[in-house]
């Protein structure tokens, strides 16, 4: 089983990203009466509680984590888990989903650049056409309702119509999640995926508590309702616990520059959920461009998975982190 997971790790990253998309359904029910920090702090606390036995069991391994490993884990917890999730939820609260997902597509470009700078990953020439196809594919899926032959880039006009706040929140989330992919790949060289997932949620909790307490005080924890319980359990167990465990297990055997392309399955899966009938979907219409984009992205992900071991990455003799340490 481990060999199978290692061989198809790129595809499994995409499956984990698909599970993240289920958070759209749960989160949409909560943003009606809760702020972004209020949602994320309880979600994080539940997952941290579920993973507490795993963290205690793996503590001897965690204690051996070096200084640079701890820095990477803390940045992931504070940035990719705490602040990025709040920013993305806040961007969604404006109801401008098109703009949010346009800017989300900057994530792979940021992650690929960071993978080169931090990890020393350099891909072969065929990788860049695959990236271009993946970005176009996701654009087709997310922006199909706004695209016409006369105005193929019409969605970008939304970025120029005074919606600066939503755009900045989305862009900030994309940058932090991109850094989380790269730093997670680095940290997994020292700890197991169980430890990495546990540390991500546990270390993010103090940051999230501050994000609620500073602006609202203790009153920030008085807005929860009994009917929120199923949504919080759903968001904690599926896109939280299950998806992150699978993601870090697959990422441990996947170069960050490949993983970030596979993660683009997240916005595509969110769109697929929107196609479905209530209560699991939002019954939105399906466009031909979305079908084409979905097929193209699946093709790119399968291609990257197939070539991962046949054409390993060209690496520098030493990564920038190794050079800095020497």
pLDDT in tens, 41-97: 999 999 999 999 999 999 999 988 889 999 999 999 999 999 988 888 777 776 666
Q: Cβ(58)–Cβ(248) under 8 Å?
A: no
Domain boundaries, the chain: 2-325
Tell me, what's the pLDDT at 47?
A: 95
User: Can you give the pLDDT at residue 325?
Assistant: 45
DSSP state, 65? Answer: -
What number of other Cβ atoms are within 10 A of residue 51's Cβ? 23
| pLDDT, mean of residues 205-225 | 92
Distance CA 263, CA 107 (A): 9
- With vertex at residue 181, the alpha carbon angle to CA 176 and CA 186, rounded to the nearest 5 degrees, is 120
Q: In this predicted structure, what is the pLDDT of residue 70?
A: 94
> Where does the pLDDT of residue 226 fall: very low under 50, low under 70, confident under 90, or very high at 90 and above?
very high
Of 17, 2, 42, nearest to 201 (Cα)?
A: 42
Task: Indicate whether 275 pLDDT > 80.
Answer: no
Residue 22 is encoded by which pair of tokens? 């289920």
* pLDDT tens digits along 120-174: 888 888 888 999 999 888 888 877 766 654 555 555 555 555 467 777 888 899 8
pLDDT at residue number 261: 93
283 vs 240, more confident: 240
C-beta atoms surrounding 325 within 10 Å = 11
Distance (Å, rounded) from C-alpha 169 to C-alpha 100?
Answer: 8
Q: What is the predicted pLDDT for the residue at 144?
A: 72
């Amino acid at each position: 089983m481990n060999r199978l997971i290692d061989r198809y790790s790129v595809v499994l990253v995409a499956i984990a990203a698909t599970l993240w998309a289920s958070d759209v359904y749960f989160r949409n029910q909560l943003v009606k009466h809760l702020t972004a920090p209020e949602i994320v702090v309880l979600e994080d606390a539940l997952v941290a509680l579920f993973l507490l036995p795993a963290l205690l069991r793996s503590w001897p391994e965690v204690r051996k984590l070096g200084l640079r490993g701890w820095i990477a884990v803390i940045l992931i917890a504070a940035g990719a888990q705490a602040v990025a999730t709040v920013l993305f939820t806040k961007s969604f609260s404006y109801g401008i989903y098109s703009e949010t997902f346009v800017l989300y597509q900057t994530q792979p470009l940021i992650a690929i650049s960071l993978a080169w700078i931090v990890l020393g990953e350099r891909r072969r020439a065929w990788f860049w056409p695959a990236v271009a196809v993946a970005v176009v594919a996701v654009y087709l899926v997310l922006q199909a309702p706004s695209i016409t032959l006369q105005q193929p880039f019409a969605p970008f006009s939304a970025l120029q119509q005074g919606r600066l706040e939503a755009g900045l929140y989305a862009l900030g989330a994309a940058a932090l999640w991109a850094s989380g992919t790269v730093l997670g790949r680095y940290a997994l060289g020292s700890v197991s995926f169980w430890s990495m997932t546990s540390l991500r949620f546990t270390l993010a909790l103090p940051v999230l508590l501050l994000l609620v307490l500073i602006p609202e005080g203790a009153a920030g924890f008085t807005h929860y309702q009994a009917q929120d319980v199923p949504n919080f359990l759903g968001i904690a167990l599926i896109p939280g616990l299950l998806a992150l465990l699978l993601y870090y297990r697959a990422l441990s055997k996947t170069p960050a520059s490949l993983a970030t392309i596979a993660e683009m399955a997240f916005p595509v899966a969110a769109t697929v959920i929107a196609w479905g009938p209530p209560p699991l979907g939002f019954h939105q219409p399906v466009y031909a461009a979305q079908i084409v984009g979905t097929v193209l992205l699946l093709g790119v992900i399968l291609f990257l998975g197939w070539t991962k071991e046949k054409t390993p990455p060209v690496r520098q003799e030493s990564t920038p982190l190794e050079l800095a340490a020497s």
